[in-house]
Amino acid sequence: MTNKHNMQVLQELAAKNGPLCVGLDTDPSYIPENIIKQYGSAPEAVLAYNKAIIDRVAADKSACCFKVQIAYYEAMGLEGLKVYSQTLKLVRNTGLIAISDIKRGDIGATSKAYARAHFTGDFETDIITLNPYMGFDTLQPYTEYADPEHGGKGAFVLLCTSNPGMTDIEHQELKAGGLLLERVGDEIARIGTEFGKFYDGQTCGVYGAVVGATQVSDARYLRDKYANTFFLIPGYGAQGGDAAICKTLLERAGGTVNSSRGILCAWKKDASLAEKTAAGTLTMDDIAGAAAKAACDSKIDLTR
């Protein structure tokens, strides 16, 4: 067989374009007021903002994927969800991978409905994020879509997240020995092995793991322990994770490093745009140019 699942495609794109993932956590407050007025509403401005950044970053080949955080679109109501759907289509039309950051984690029929909602229809995406901490039965319904007949869809499962409170649960020791996060990592690896039979030459599992760049003490251990698992790496930039930690996590099967505000809000730190910003004459091209430069700079930082 020569089919590739979406995680393999992402792994190859990361090798080709660099490991950057651009996070489209687009809050209307990130957009200058004069631009929102041009588009008539916050949702319409967000869509235009996303499109400008997607087009520039994709043209520069400075990223391998975009991660769309659904919460920011839900917060805008029904119009926001339309923008969410349209943003996913814009990403997928570039040939890059769309990751939907939905962090679902529920049982039985509810998980089946979530899987159907995000792997088919209006919200169809390539890869989603999942929360496994209600138990591994919550992951099972999504695996139906991991085989070639159902699109080779993937998921990044929360393993070792970037927030300070991750130690409250993820670092807890089990009675049987080991940490809870290790039990999760073992299950992610098992799923990858299970679906390996569908794909010739699989170099990473259909499911990857979320491993934060802020967890310095875990980086080397987790990278070596889960050598064939592709990582989604949050925490780079605004949350304090640096390129050195990211490079450790990018070894072995590799990974993709998310940057959201650092790219979405790059125009705010661009000294060459200060006068336009103050005068309220900033254009969408200005914003896209600043975002594209920030993406290229991040790519260089992560690959040099």
Q: Please give the angle made by the CA atoms of 23, 219 and 217, to the nearest 5 degrees.
A: 120
* R_g (Cα) of the chain, nearest Å: 19
Q: Is 269 a catalytic residue?
A: no
CA atoms within 13 A on the CB side of 21: 28
Q: Determine which one of 51, 82, 103, 268 is catalytic.
A: 103
Tokens of 5: 């699942």
Among candidate residues 105, 119, 103, 127, the one with its CA nearest the CA of residue 8: 127
Q: Which residues pair with 258 in a beta bridge?
A: 21
Residue 198: CB atoms within 10 Å = 16
CA atoms within 13 A on the CB side of 40: 2
Kindly list the catalytic residues: 103
